Amino acid sequence: MAGCGRGLKQAPAGRGLTPAAPTGSVSWMRIVLMGAPGSGKGTQSQRLVERFGIPQISTGDLLRSAVARGTEYGVRAKAAMDSGQLVVDEIVLGIIRERLAERDTERGFILDGFPRNFAQATALSSLLGTLGRPLDAVVLFEVDYAEIVRRISGRRSCQQCGRVFNIHASPAGTPAHCERCDDQPTLVQRADDEESTVRRRLEVYEQQTRPLADYYAAQGLLRTIDANASVDEVTVRLFALLESLPAQRLLRNAS
């Protein structure tokens, strides 16, 4: 089932991340996952969380939660989200600053869906510089347009725990209910996964977010994976890629 980490293949041996490392023992990673909507960042983030015990910070999830709770940020963000536009930087940066101040991020984090434009990328860089916690890598998920449309049309999420499933990747057919929650709530499709909104989100990605690949490549941080594959296969590629990070980076962060 998409989004479910059970049955995950063990990572092959390598520097820093070894098959012997029990879940949660690796705590050095500070990474950004970059990619178009539907490229699999969220699903792979959940697997990294389960494997390494560091938190996923998804600005999309944080904003949806703010909207659902009716906070000031949420009220201001809703219209942009509904139309597939980016939420203003001030709100997103406010949310990120608050989240990165929480203790569970001290030993690593996975940024999913942030940064999404140059202003956010430079603000992140200066925030992490101030904290003395620079990024280890930025992973770009490359996926064909047709595959993205197919994935997004099959995407469903649990309203209660937020876990993401995909009806196309479920071996048993359409999962109608969340298997993680005791009362098995019905899975729902996100409003902004509707086709015209998805098209807009893809345009915004191409115009504002994709160019960040060059920005991070210039800093030697960019790693790219071909994510036109099954969820399990992409996970194997992702783990292998993270293991290939320079040894000095792992050592610097291992303490």
Q: Which is nearer to ligand AMP, 77 or 245 (by Cβ)? A: 77
When CB distances to ligand AMP are compared, the closest residue is 60
Catalytic residue among 151, 201, 223, 249: 201
Q: Kindly name the residue from 190, 200, 210, 237 that is annotated as catalytic.
A: 190
Q: Which is nearer to ligand AMP, 39 or 235 (CB)?
A: 39
The rounded distance, in Å, linking the Cα atoms of 33 and 107 is 17
CA 221 to the chain's CA centroid: 17
Give the shortest CB-64-to-ligand AMP separation in angstroms.
7
Q: 120 vs 253, which CB is nearer to ligand AMP?
A: 120
SS (H, E, C) 225-252: EECCCCHHHHHHHHHHHHHCCCHHHHHH
128 with 136: CB under 8 angstroms?
no
> Do 127 and 12 contact (CB within 8 A), yes or no?
no
Query: C-beta of 101: minimal distance to ligand AMP in Å?
Result: 17
| 78: annotated active-site residue | no
Cis, peptide link before residue 115, omega less than 30° from 0? yes
Q: Which residues bind ligand AMP (CB under 6 A)?
A: 37, 59-60, 63, 80-81, 84-87, 92, 113-114, 116, 120, 192, 201
Q: Active-site residue among 30, 64, 155, 156?
A: 155
Pairing of strands 155-158, 187-188: antiparallel
Per the annotation, the verdict on 180 as an active-site residue is: no
Q: Is 41 a catalytic residue?
A: yes
Instruction: Catalytic residue, from 30, 41, 51, 107: name it.
Output: 41
Residues 6+ apart with CB under 8 A from 130: none
Nearer to ligand AMP among residue 147 and residue 192 (C-beta): 192
Would you please indicate which residues are annotated as catalytic (active-site) residues? Answer: 41, 116, 155, 190, 201
